[in-house]
Amino acid sequence: MNPRARTRAAVVASLIASAGGAASAFALQDGALPPDVAPASVPVEQPAEGQALAVQLSDDVRIHFQFKDTPFTLVLDFFSRETGLPIIREAPVPAGSMTFIGGTEYSFEESLSILNLNLRLHGVALRREKNFLYLSTIKDAV
């Protein structure tokens, strides 16, 4: 196996190993799930055909910013993970970095505003439309 394939296999194996739960693999050999991870018996509502399921950010979702010279690529990745909304890049991510040391947690709208104040200096803005965040140039965002 070449070194690149070996590295890729090691990364995949470590991701699989770290994604597992706290239960032992040997304890689950009979195929039965422990009671605390058994499937829910409550039916899940499915959206009507042709109707999109919108991600609801609850009012209690709070985001804490702590960035010091952090590249915008990492800042946007953090924001996407914290909100659960994927970012569609219609414009390139700025090459600069962001510094913002907040002493408190912010709502989604406040966080988006803070992030946009920093992104606008580089000619781009982040906006939310339904289940996605879009990074676009300020010209395209208007």
pLDDT, one tens digit per residue, over 90-112 is: 999 999 999 999 889 999 999 99
Nearest to 63 by CA among 100, 103, 106, 102: 106
Q: What is each CA distance from 102 to 16, 105, 115, 140, in whole angstroms?
A: 35, 7, 12, 29
Mean of pLDDT over the chain? 76
Q: State residue 141's pLDDT score.
A: 63
Burial grade of 16 (CB within 10 A; 0-12, 13-18, 19 or more):
exposed
Q: State residue 122's pLDDT score.
A: 96
Q: Which amino acid is at 135?
A: L
Whose tokens are 């709070």? That residue is: 62
CATH code for the structural domain at 63-141: 3.55.50.30
Q: Tokens representing 127? A: 């906006």
Q: Tokens representing 24? A: 């032992």
User: Given pLDDT bands bounded at 50, 70 and 90, which one contains residue 61?
Assistant: confident
pTM of the prediction?
0.59
- CA 23, 29, 30: angle at the middle one, nearest 5? 115
